Structure formats: structure tokens, C-alpha cells
């Protein structure tokens, strides 16, 4: 792969970096390069230097990722420096590198409702936009106004929500583009009421999900009219273990890392759940977790 050390003019660049510690599941091999631009302008300038055939992969907290044990031959982007966050009336504007929990807290403090669910989503905004993240009956598309994206040739474009074809856990981003920022339109509400709603969501999440162990969040999307967790439990797979990974006995749509799990362990459980549910119920579960460098 190309030597990207010259990107040091625009931020921090490292070669052969382990990605396991950069995912909430704690699984994954190495990236050929990891680049953290110093700010948005540095990223825009750097993008113009990166050949278009380079595999560029953005990573936030890695909360919805399963990365191959062999790693990926890619330029991985850490956009954590793109974390500007401001409120203006009923609008919230945030950089792609902002933690969604931080955005929710800022909105609540300003007495703005609509992003409470983000308090329970352990990821950065860029990933949340890309997958139309949601929880507790709310999702990004409900309150999104527009996003700014960066194309591979260094051009910045503003795209309204209506042009993103957003659906359940899906956003139609332009091919190869990176989310830079997003604007949300919220509703004025008593700040304490908003904060209490967030506390209630966090409490419910803690009581029903295995947050004490590394995990990637929901493994499968919920099929229409049903729940992936119910289906997996109904075919007797709750608690099933492979290697150092197991289908959680707290929530069957979570796979947890018991310590030292491999991508192969997790993939084995995903395949087992998908195939068994299909065989016994004729429902084809679709992965919500993004597979990087590996396939089912």
C-alpha cells in the first residue's frame, strides 16, 4: 500500500495499528494506516492527497463494527477532532466526531427534545448518521435537517434529509463520502423533563442489555413486526458460546466478548443464529453490525 506518512502535515498518522481497542466489541486485527486529522480543514486538504482507489474507512468508537482478525489494508480515519457542537434556537449543529451521548446532553441542557435516545447509543455522530441510529422509538431521521459530506476529491456538499432516502438503520450517503457534520431541528421542552427521559432510557438499557461486557450493540436488525432477540431465544441459542464469545444470556441480540474473543468466534455465532432462525422460522435476519474485512 502507498506510504501515507506525508499526511503528517494534516494530523497524526500511524502505520500498522491494532483496531481491537478501537471497537466496543474488542475484536479485530490491524489497520495498514490510521490517520487522525487535526481539524475539518486538515481533513479536506488531506483527502485531496489520497488516491481515489485507496480503501478509506472512518471509525468512531467502533460500536457497530466487527473487524476481521487479519485486519484491513486500509487508511482508517479517526474523526474525533471533528467534535464542534453548538445550539442555535431549536437547532443543534454537531461535528461527525462528537459522541452521541454528549450531543444528547447538550440538547437536554438547552431544553431541547428529540435526541434523548442518543444518550443510550455508544457511538459517534458520523456512524449514527450512516446507519440512521435509533432507540426507544426515536431515530436520527426524525429530527435531522441536513448533513455536510466530504467527497473523495475534497469537495464539501450539503444534503438535506429528504435526499438521503433514510429508512430503518439505513442512510443513502454518496458513494465514498464522509460525514462532516449534521444539523438537527428539535422541540423546546422543560430541561429537567428531557434529562429525566434520558435517565429513564439509560436505566432501562442497563437493566436489559449486557453492558458489563464488550459488545457491538444489536447484532441483527429487527424484522418487521418482530424482534431479533425473541427469534434467537426462541430457537434455543441464548447463552450459546463459541470460543471466547457468546450470545448474551441477558439479551439474545447481543454477542459479548468474554475476554480474548476473535472475529471468527463472533462470526460463527452470527452464522449460527442467522441460519438456525431461517431454518426454523423462515425469517432471514439481516445483520445490523457492519462486517469489515470479513463476510458471512
Per-residue tens of pLDDT for the chain, all 296 residues: 578 988 999 999 999 999 999 999 999 999 999 999 999 999 999 999 999 889 999 999 899 999 999 999 999 999 999 999 999 999 999 999 999 999 999 999 999 999 999 999 989 999 999 999 999 999 999 999 999 999 999 999 999 999 999 999 999 999 999 999 999 999 999 999 999 999 999 999 999 999 999 999 999 999 999 999 999 999 999 999 999 999 999 999 999 999 999 999 999 999 999 999 999 999 999 999 999 999 99
As a whole number of angstroms, the distance between CA 266 and CA 247 comes to 9
Residues 252 and 203 in one domain: no
As a whole number of angstroms, the distance between CA 71 and CA 68 comes to 5
As a whole number of angstroms, the distance between CA 181 and CA 81 comes to 12
Residues 235 and 277 in one domain: yes
Residues 89 and 203 in one domain: yes
3-state SS, residue 122: coil
Range of the structural domain that residue 49 is part of = 5-78
Instruction: Give the CA distances from residue 294 to residues 89, 128, 261, 266, 290, in Å, rounded to whole numbers and listed in that order.
Output: 44, 22, 15, 11, 10
Residues 155 and 41 in one domain: no
Q: Which of 269, 266, 296, 287 is nearest to 26 (CA)?
A: 266
Q: Which of 218, 285, 268 is nearest to 69 (CA)?
A: 268
Residues 196 and 263 in one domain: no
Residues 124 and 182 in one domain: yes
As a whole number of angstroms, the distance between CA 285 and CA 65 comes to 17
Half-sphere exposure of 144 (CA within 13 A, CB side): 30
Q: Known catalytic residue: 113?
A: no
Domain-embedded: residue 220? no
Q: Catalytic residue among 151, 169, 185, 233, which?
A: 169
Residues 35 and 124 in one domain: no
How many domains does the chain fold into?
Answer: 3
pTM for the structure as a whole: 0.92
Domain-embedded: residue 196? yes
Half-sphere exposure of 154 (CA within 13 A, CB side): 11
CATH of the domain at 147: 3.30.465.10
Reading the block at residue 295, the C-alpha cell is: 463476510
| Residue found by looking up cell 439509560 in the block | 202
Of 21, 55, 78, the residue at which a domain comes to its end is 78
Domain-embedded: residue 129? yes
Q: Catalytic residue among 40, 116, 148, 288, which?
A: 288
Residues 146 and 103 in one domain: yes
For position 162, what pLDDT does the model report?
Answer: 97
Q: Known catalytic residue: 146?
A: no
In angstroms, how far apart are the furthest CA atoms of the chain? 56
As a whole number of angstroms, the distance between CA 205 and CA 226 comes to 19
As a whole number of angstroms, the distance between CA 151 and CA 155 comes to 5
Report whether 53 contacts 42 (CB < 8 A). Answer: no
Residues 96 and 153 in one domain: yes
For position 1, what pLDDT does the model report?
Answer: 56
Runs of H (alpha helix) within 159-262: 191-208, 228-234
Reading the block at residue 178, the C-alpha cell is: 464522509
Residues 121 and 74 in one domain: no
**Four-residue CA torsion sign, 226, 229, 232, 236:** negative
Report whether 285 contacts 231 (CB < 8 A). Answer: yes
3-state SS, residue 52: coil
Per this entry, what is the length of the chain?
296
Residues 58 and 92 in one domain: no
Domain-embedded: residue 218? no
CATH of the domain at 32: 3.30.43.10
Q: Catalytic residue among 98, 218, 248, 262, which?
A: 218
As a whole number of angstroms, the distance between CA 224 and CA 108 comes to 31
Q: Which of 296, 178, 177, 279 is nearest to 236 (CA)?
A: 279
Q: Known catalytic residue: 218?
A: yes
For position 52, what pLDDT does the model report?
Answer: 87
Angle at 198 between CA 193 and CA 204, to 5 degrees: 125
Reading the block at residue 136, the C-alpha cell is: 426507544
Residues 102 and 165 in one domain: yes
Amino acid at each position: 500500500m502507498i506510504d501515507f506518512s506525508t499526511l503528517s502535515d494534516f494530523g497524526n498518522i500511524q502505520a500498522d495499528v491494532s483496531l481491537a481497542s478501537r471497537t466496543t466489541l474488542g475484536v479485530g486485527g490491524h489497520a495498514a494506516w490510521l490517520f487522525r486529522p487535526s481539524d475539518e480543514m486538515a481533513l479536506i486538504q488531506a483527502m485531496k492527497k489520497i488516491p481515489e482507489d485507496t480503501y478509506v474507512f472512518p471509525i468512531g468508537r467502533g460500536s457497530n463494527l466487527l473487524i476481521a482478525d487479519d485486519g484491513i489494508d486500509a487508511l482508517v480515519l479517526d474523526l474525533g477532532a471533528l467534535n464542534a457542537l453548538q445550539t442555535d434556537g431549536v437547532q443543534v449543529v454537531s461535528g461527525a466526531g462528537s459522541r452521541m451521548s454528549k450531543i444528547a446532553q447538550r440538547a437536554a441542557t438547552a431544553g431541547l427534545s428529540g435526541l434523548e435516545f442518543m444518550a443510550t447509543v455508544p457511538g459517534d455522530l458520523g456512524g449514527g448518521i450512516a446507519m440512521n441510529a435509533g432507540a426507544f422509538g426515536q431515530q436520527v431521521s426524525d429530527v435531522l435537517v441536513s448533513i455536510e459530506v466530504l467527497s473523495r476529491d475534497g469537495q464539501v456538499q450539503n444534503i438535506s434529509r429528504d435526499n438521503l432516502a433514510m429508512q430503518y438503520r439505513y442512510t443513502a450517503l454518496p458513494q465514498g463520502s464522509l460525514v462532516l457534520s449534521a444539523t438537527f431541528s428539535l422541540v423546546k421542552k422543560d430541561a429537567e423533563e428531557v434529562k429525566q427521559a434520558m435517565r429513564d432510557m439509560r436505566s432501562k438499557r442497563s437493566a436489559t442489555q449486557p453492558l458489563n461486557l464488550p459488545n457491538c450493540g444489536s447484532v441483527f436488525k429487527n424484522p418487521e413486526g418482530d424482534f431479533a432477540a425473541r427469534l434467537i431465544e426462541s430457537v434455543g441459542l441464548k447463552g450459546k458460546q463459541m470460543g471466547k464469545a457468546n450470545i448474551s444470556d441477558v439479551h439474545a441480540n447481543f454477542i459479548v466478548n468474554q475476554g480474548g474473543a476473535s472475529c471468527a468466534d463472533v462470526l460463527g455465532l452470527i452464522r449460527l443464529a442467522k441460519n438456525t432462525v431461517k431454518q426454523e422460522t423462515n425469517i432471514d435476519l439481516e445483520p445490523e453490525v457492519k462486517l469489515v474485512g470479513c463476510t458471512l
